[in-house]
Structure 1
Amino acid sequence: MRPLRSLIVATVAAMATPAAATAAAEEMTLDFPTYQLQQSFGPWWTALVEAYEAQHPGIAINLTNSPSNDHHANLATRFIGGNPPDIVHMTARFLWGHAANGFVEPVDACFAGTDIAEAWIPDQQRLTIDGQVYGLLLLTYSFGLYYNAAMLEAAGVAVPTTLEELRAAAEALTLDRDGDGRIDQHGLPITTAPSSWGFVGFMHFHTARDRDIVMNGELDSVEEIAETLTIINDLVTSGASPRQLDLNPMRQVFWQGNGAMYIDGSWAQGFSKSRASEEVAEEWSVAPLPFQNMAAGPSNVLAIPSGLSEARREAVCNFLRLAATPEWQQRYATLTGNPAGRKNSVTEEARSLWPGLSMFEEAAARDGLRSHMPLGFESDFNEFASIVMDGVGAMLSTGLSPEEAAQRIHEALSARFFES
């Protein structure tokens, strides 16, 4: 028989445990910065957080906007400093590097007992690294050609259906509208700034020619890289695109009425309501990319940082599981205008609200798409992007020929990744 003192202590502990757990839960606030709060995704994130808090009394989520230009740099700083957010939202191309550095942990345990593995689009499988899953895929890349219908009509230009037609249209739509000797209508603004989106811009045109930067484990040839660089060089030197554009400035050129066409993803439909001038809001449309193939792959994910307490990890798991339910995946499509990660989540209501959604849904589901990532070297994305954009920058700023820039890029990538 246990001594009376032991029984009293055990009884008190048993009675105290629920209260202590409740007190701990009441004090739990999950930190969640996202770069999408001020985009078309914002209403979905806000509603999802409110629903989670209603289902989990005592757990609050500190949902904050993180400026998109700085989000991933800030996230890396927090990882390195040992102070990551509890809920990690990131562009998927950074996931491999963070997983390699041990900053995020597998989420397989979170998905146990759910239908996520079977119910998700194929790109969810791309988040498996060394046999373990590292995130919940929210969106896969599917791009379209956004265009100003009034500008195309005024110039007598049809919506392009091939890469060569696109290049010709970009030239025809590049104009000095006020006659002051400076171009003020750009035919096709593209990203050429030394950033990860600059590399994605390069990959738009590389995959347009049905090429990956890494083909069957081998770096693509100097000649193929030079062909893509020639397209970019022609667009910039002709004035079809301003120089040194990063992602948001590129978008601004189009949505404020100074660009005739540009390439962006399904999410850009929302910019018609938040970034567009009154005139552009009436005249924009979107068409399939006029390319042989398309740069695709996972777009953005939810992940769990390493080192959380068991209680916090479970709280974050519950957030991921809620986001993955059929109800919230359908609301994702309806509220944001994007095809959701869960298959068959786009409803007729969503299609009626977002004219381009069906096109993006079909594009995301296509088989055999090319990748904006260096296949087999995903964790080295930042280095790949930096080397390629150094070459692009030298070509555009110093007059290096596309062939010379391609040789420089090829030599640097070969020395770093392909020579033993």
Structure 2
Amino acid sequence: AATEPPSTAGSSEVVTIEYWIPAGQGREPAVAEVVKAFEATHPTIKVNVTAIPFGEFANALQVGLASDNPPDAAFAGGPDIPFLAYNGALRPVDDLLTAEDRADFNPDLIDMVSLDGVAYGMPFANSGVAMYYNVDSFEAAGVEVPTSLDDVWTWPEFVENVNRVVAHQTEEGHKVWGMVGLDNPIISTFFAWTLVRSGSAPGSPLWDGIAPDHTTVAGYIDTPEALEAYAFYQSLYTSGFAPNENVPDAFGTGQAATLFAIPPTAATLTRDFPDLKWAVMPIPYLKTPLTHTGSFAHILAARSTRSEAAGEFIHFFSSPDGYLTYHATTAMIPGRKSLQDELPELQSGFLKTVYDEILAWGQARPGGPGHSIFNRIVATDMMRNIALGTDIKTAVASTVDEADAQLAQFR
């Protein structure tokens, strides 16, 4: 049975814990407010926050957790947690996750932080993919966009309808792309693999992407339905629908009809392109609708000597009060279902569309402890090569060999 989190309330000795976060995206000021609120109600615990540049954080955390002086807790990338747990770097947090917590967090977030049924991270926020579109361009072409999950387009329907927008813009003398991504070609498990995985059914080899023991992708990414999904993805580039290299600010400057991105992109569009009229439609699919999910989560170092105090801090941080304190400074989509009704921005508009997707279709990214290998070799390198026109069967065969050689560490 779940237990309440441990408490240091009976102690008068002040304990200082070390908490690491990746810098940027408004995390520092938001974390500072959470720490302030926590310390006000926990006078015997002080939190020292270290912000590390985002691009250096994952490696720094892995090294730090293995050292003799690790951070007591950290705000880690969710998909990285099973790998850290596999290597013995994390303390389980099942004792911090009450039954109420487990029922409240979206199930995909519990999956994200778990290894072999044991939770090694406290979920916090969530995210999903967002398909932005140029409202004026769609209206000018007379194309009506799906406004609910029930009306979502398949990927072929999406391409057909967006091509009508592109054709109208061409008639008006404007060259526009059908779709762009944050990176082009569109890659990674969060974006490209959302399209590929939607070409399968839950429980099928392609849906899983990797063997249950994380030791091979053979028989999972090389199935007939996988090859079919790759072929569709490749057609987006060979047909000229999407660019295979980056076009700076293509969507914001009216050079693309749609943008495959994430919710925080909205703030950039609003700030940099105030005259652009945009909205978000449900993400298209091939056979099964889905959005990959996941965000940062709180972890405890296995080698920490202050895990009880650190556990109190991350439990507070992951609580509704902790989330709302953070959200008041830096908005994020909540990981708790109970918070949906408390946030007006989730009741209408583009965030509601993304949140509805998360609740109905959300799936943790594949790979478990092998996610970083899967993301780099399969969802990034292979997908980029396919987009650039490499023979699909050749690309897949070489990827299986390369990925399996790296996954051998899990045997």
TM-score by length of 1: 0.74
**Residue 263 of structure 1 corresponds to which residue in structure 2?**
260
CA RMSD between the two structures? 3.9
**Partners of 1:32 and 1:216 in 2: CA distance:** 31
**Residue 294 of structure 2 corresponds to which residue in structure 1?**
298
**Partners of 1:237 and 1:229 in 2: CA distance:** 12
**Residue 101 of structure 2 corresponds to which residue in structure 1?**
116
Asked if 1:47 is matched to 2:48, the reply is no
1:381 shift after superposition: 1.4
3-state secondary structure, aligned to 2:338: coil
**Partners of 2:68 and 2:231 in 1: CA distance:** 44
3-state secondary structure, aligned to 1:219: coil
2:65–2:303 CA contact under 8 A, matched in 1: no
3-state secondary structure, aligned to 2:295: strand
Asked if 1:324 is matched to 2:318, the reply is yes
1:322–1:328 CA contact under 8 A, matched in 2: yes
Question: Which of 304, 307, 326 in structure 1 is aligned with 2:303?
Answer: 307
Higher helix share: 1
3-state secondary structure, aligned to 2:25: coil
**Partners of 1:169 and 1:85 in 2: CA distance:** 51
**Partners of 1:352 and 1:341 in 2: CA distance:** 13
1:337–1:354 CA contact under 8 A, matched in 2: no
CA 1:278–1:324 in structure 2 vs 1: closer, same or farther (change >3 Å)?
same
Asked if 1:85 is matched to 2:82, the reply is no
2:250–2:256 CA contact under 8 A, matched in 1: yes
**Partners of 1:216 and 1:198 in 2: CA distance:** 15
3-state secondary structure, aligned to 1:262: strand
CA 1:293–1:32 in structure 2 vs 1: closer, same or farther (change >3 Å)?
same
**Residue 13 of structure 1 corresponds to which residue in structure 2?**
none
- Cα deviations across residues 287-337 of structure 1 (Å, max 9, x unaligned)? 21122311334333111122111xx32222122221233333455666655
**Residue 231 of structure 1 corresponds to which residue in structure 2?**
232
| Residue identity opposite 1:56 in structure 2 | H
1:163–1:208 CA contact under 8 A, matched in 2: no
Identical-pair percentage: 21
1:205–1:231 CA contact under 8 A, matched in 2: no
- The answer to which of 283-292 and 68-77 deviates more is 68-77
Question: Within 5 A, what are the aligned runs for 1:364-403?
Answer: 364-366=358-360, 370-374=363-367, 378-388=368-378, 389-397=380-388, 399-403=389-393
**Partners of 1:125 and 1:356 in 2: CA distance:** 25
1:266–1:337 CA contact under 8 A, matched in 2: no
Question: Which of 32, 53, 57 in structure 1 is aligned with 2:20?
Answer: 32
- Cα deviations across residues 94-124 of structure 1 (Å, max 9, x unaligned)? 1111111112211123346x73233322234
**Residue 193 of structure 2 corresponds to which residue in structure 1?**
203
1:379 shift after superposition: 0.8
1:293–1:370 CA contact under 8 A, matched in 2: no
Asked if 1:143 is matched to 2:144, the reply is no
**Partners of 1:386 and 1:403 in 2: CA distance:** 19
Higher relative contact order (CA closer than 8 Å, sequence separation 6+): 2
**Partners of 1:157 and 1:70 in 2: CA distance:** 44
1:353 shift after superposition: 8.0
**Residue 254 of structure 1 corresponds to which residue in structure 2?**
251
- Cα deviations across residues 251-310 of structure 1 (Å, max 9, x unaligned)? x54346543312334444444455x42223xx121121122311334333111122111x
CA 1:348–1:324 in structure 2 vs 1: closer, same or farther (change >3 Å)?
closer
1:387–1:413 CA contact under 8 A, matched in 2: yes
**Partners of 1:102 and 1:293 in 2: CA distance:** 35
CA 1:395–1:349 in structure 2 vs 1: closer, same or farther (change >3 Å)?
closer
Which structure's CA Rg is the greater one? 1
TM-score by length of 2: 0.75
**Partners of 1:164 and 1:361 in 2: CA distance:** 24
Structure 2: gaps (5+ residues): 1-10, 147-152, 212-218
1:194 shift after superposition: 10
| Residue identity opposite 1:259 in structure 2 | A
CA 1:104–1:360 in structure 2 vs 1: closer, same or farther (change >3 Å)?
same
**Partners of 1:153 and 1:118 in 2: CA distance:** 42
| Residue identity opposite 2:131 in structure 1 | L
2:129–2:263 CA contact under 8 A, matched in 1: yes
1:149 shift after superposition: 1.0
3-state secondary structure, aligned to 1:243: coil
CA 1:385–1:244 in structure 2 vs 1: closer, same or farther (change >3 Å)?
farther
Question: Within 5 A, what are the aligned runs for 1:335-346?
Answer: 337-346=331-340
**Partners of 1:215 and 1:122 in 2: CA distance:** 19
**Partners of 2:329 and 2:351 in 1: CA distance:** 12
Structure 1: gaps (5+ residues): 1-17
* Matched residue count: 378
**Partners of 1:272 and 1:64 in 2: CA distance:** 30
CA 1:125–1:325 in structure 2 vs 1: closer, same or farther (change >3 Å)?
closer
**Residue 4 of structure 2 corresponds to which residue in structure 1?**
none
**Residue 155 of structure 2 corresponds to which residue in structure 1?**
163
**Partners of 1:48 and 1:131 in 2: CA distance:** 29
2:210–2:366 CA contact under 8 A, matched in 1: no
**Residue 189 of structure 1 corresponds to which residue in structure 2?**
180
1:216 shift after superposition: 9.3
